[in-house]
Structure 1
Amino acid sequence: MMSILESTDVDPETDDAAASGSPGVRSVEVGLSLLPLMLAAEAPMSLTALAQASGMAPPKVHRYMASLVRSGLVARDPASGGYDLGPMAVSIGLSALGRLDPESLGRDAIRTLAQRLDETALLAVFANRGATVVAVEAATHSVFMAVRVGSVLSATRSATGRAFLAFHDDPAVRLAAEKEIGRDDLASLIGDIRAAGIAWTRDELLEGISAVAAPVFDHDGRVIQVLTVLGSSPSFDVSPYGPAARAARAEAEAISRSLGFYR
């Protein structure tokens, strides 16, 4: 039985990538590009659906599916005929997840943010019933801050806490937040944060300090850590689409993808 790499049943334009000036086998790249489509789907995909989503002709998709099924990366449902991720894809995913260290990724991300923006960056996890700081990367300029490793930040008055509050499902934290700011205000706050994908504060936790915070999700869609950037309010843009927010969101999304999370 021929493997994907050995198969001669490929279209000329998707064969060896040498034509594009880069090494590799183009047909493998095209075939593997079908896997994210199945990953994002909530159910097995039909050949027609895969063809429409990929922009390829159905016969072409069928040939790739045949090779991917033989490799174990794809499985075909005998009842519906739909295609889904196969046992080899599951094994690869679990193995990759087991080798990742989310905290190390988060530390690298806040280091990048601090260097790129020249602002202080924090990494926090949800522990002790709250947003707990586990790493701090300082900016080159001085910013007074009473937050340090081990600090547990307010769920409603800190950007970090708000990011967890909006995406975490701990009912005790939600109840405490409702008592603090009221149910209607909490619902409005959570709605705004979820819509923007980022939380922000200005002069709330500390006078003169503003911050933006982006959540990191694992493969099950659970928020496992938050990346926060903070700086002096007069010069710090807390807009959800400002430079700090965009940078924090991009780093958080990159970690989330590496952990297997796809929106």
Structure 2
Amino acid sequence: MDTRVDGDEPPRSVLARGLSLLDAFGSADTELNLTELAARTGLPKPTAHRLLGELVRWGGVERTESGYRLSMRLFVLGQRAPRPRGLREAALPYLEDLYEATHENIHLAVLDGNDTLFLEKVSGRRSMPIVSRVGGRLPAYCTATGKLFLALGPPDRLERVLAAGLVHYTPHTIVMPGLLQRELSRTLTRGYAVNREESEAGVSAVAAPILDHRRRVIAAISITGNVCRLDLDRLAPAVRTAALALSRELSREPAAAPFPLLPRR
């Protein structure tokens, strides 16, 4: 998988090249070898090898028997970012309450480019195992949280997603632009979004938006679990109540709101 946008040239500065190697790791990648990293960044192998050596010495990546992996130092740095940390800390009590009430997977997500990015996840032994994880991402158009960002966001956001193309993740993924637009219209009417096996077979979700003091969607909370077990319409009031309470809390704290969406990648 090449992480560059079609037509982009490989980064030229030393700093940009080093950062591109870090950014080449996808949410599902435990480790990558030199050939994979060079291909994803467009860097010559000797250049990638030299820069990886610098990153190893700095502590950003670690060598493994078969390649490289991201280090704990990056995790520590990520925890110092004030706005995501503040949002996660404010949201956690509401996520835990939803988990105690449902024993399903509970997510906190924000928009990152065309994807929904999971900032936090609360689950337990009774929760259905699913692919999502903290720091992971899924396309916005086939997730409940992502549909909220598309339905409540500016029109050009949906236009970018449609221009990038809609692909099947399961037989239930909505890949026709007209059908997706109608689904987003229903989301606006309901005030919550649903995902019925659109990103992972056997898994459904219901999500509600977190709004800032200007009524802009800045994040979303979802309940996710087995499609045969979840009654999405019955659970919608619970997730909407949690999202509304968190929105009010954030609106009372000027330092925490507005919480900006992550920049387009």
Give the structure-1-normalised TM-score.
0.56
1:251 to 216, 236, 242: 242
Question: In the alignment, what sits opposite 2:151?
Answer: 166
Matched, 1:206 2:187: no
| Shift in alpha-carbon separation, 1:139–1:246, aligned structure 2, 3 A | farther
Question: In the alignment, what sits opposite 1:36?
Answer: none
Structure 2 CA distance, aligned partners of 1:170 and 1:124? Answer: 20
| Shift in alpha-carbon separation, 1:207–1:129, aligned structure 2, 3 A | closer
Counterpart of 1:126 in structure 2: which amino acid?
L
**1:210: how far off?**
0.8
1:136 to 113, 116, 121: 121
Matched, 1:233 2:227: yes
Q: What is the aligned-residue RMSD (CA, Å)?
A: 2.3
Structure 2 CA distance, aligned partners of 1:160 and 1:126? Answer: 9
Counterpart of 2:242 in structure 1: which amino acid?
E
Question: In the alignment, what sits opposite 2:134?
Answer: 149
Structure 2 CA distance, aligned partners of 1:247 and 1:142? Answer: 17
Question: In the alignment, what sits opposite 2:212?
Answer: 218
**1:250: how far off?**
0.2
**1:123: how far off?**
0.6
**1:254: how far off?**
0.9
Q: Any conservation in 2 of the 1:155–1:177 contact (CA below 8 Å)?
A: no
| Shift in alpha-carbon separation, 1:145–1:135, aligned structure 2, 3 A | same
Secondary structure at 1:259 match in 2: helix
Matched, 1:176 2:161: yes
| Shift in alpha-carbon separation, 1:182–1:203, aligned structure 2, 3 A | closer
**1:140: how far off?**
3.4
Q: Any conservation in 1 of the 2:148–2:193 contact (CA below 8 Å)?
A: yes
Within 5 Å, which residues of 2 pair with 1:4-153? 101-153=86-138
Structure 1 CA distance, aligned partners of 2:250 and 2:127? Answer: 34
Equivalent pairs: percent with the same residue?
28
Describe the superposition over 1:17-57 as per-residue Cα deviations: whole angstroms up to 9, x where unpaired: xxxxxxxxxxxxxxxxxxxxxxxxxxxxxxxxxxxxxxxxx
State the structure with more CA Rg: 1
Counterpart of 1:258 in structure 2: which amino acid?
E
Alignment gaps of 5+ in structure 2: 1-82, 167-174, 253-265
**1:170: how far off?**
6.6
Secondary structure at 2:124 match in 1: coil
Q: Any conservation in 1 of the 2:127–2:225 contact (CA below 8 Å)?
A: no
Q: Any conservation in 2 of the 1:177–1:186 contact (CA below 8 Å)?
A: no
Question: In the alignment, what sits opposite 2:13?
Answer: none
Number of residues of Structure 1 aligned to a counterpart in Structure 2 = 160
Structure 2 CA distance, aligned partners of 1:185 and 1:170? Answer: 16
Question: In the alignment, what sits opposite 1:50?
Answer: none
Structure 1 CA distance, aligned partners of 2:127 and 2:87? Answer: 28
Structure 2 CA distance, aligned partners of 1:139 and 1:155? Answer: 25
Describe the superposition over 1:161-192 as per-residue Cα deviations: whole angstroms up to 9, x where unpaired: 11211112272443323643344323311110
Which has the bigger relative contact order, CA under 8 A and spacing at least 6?
Answer: 2
Structure 2 CA distance, aligned partners of 1:139 and 1:245? Answer: 21
| Shift in alpha-carbon separation, 1:228–1:236, aligned structure 2, 3 A | same
Give the structure-2-normalised TM-score.
0.55
Q: Any conservation in 2 of the 1:210–1:232 contact (CA below 8 Å)?
A: yes
